[in-house]
Amino acid sequence: MCRSIKPLRNLDHPVTEQEIYEAALQYVRKVSGYRKPSKVNEAAFNQAVEEVAASTRKVLAGLKVKALPVGE
């Protein structure tokens, strides 16, 4: 997988929309082979980024975080 995509779970701060967008963009760039798509492919590329970002939000919202025992 693309090494520039960082895990968004268990950060020391709440994940931001910018971080979700950047991860989605990196993923779509990797699978499409485009850093910047041509005009003819731009709409499909941007739609894919939005769909991946939406899926990322859903998975992050659905993940359960293991609670640490008191005192740790």
Summarize the confidence of residues 56-68 as an average pLDDT.
Answer: 83
pTM: 0.79
Reported as a single tens digit per residue, the pLDDT across 3-57 is: 667 778 776 778 899 999 999 999 999 999 999 999 999 999 999 999 999 999 9
DSSP string, 11-50: -SSPPPHHHHHHHHHHHHHHHH--SS--HHHHHHHHHHHH
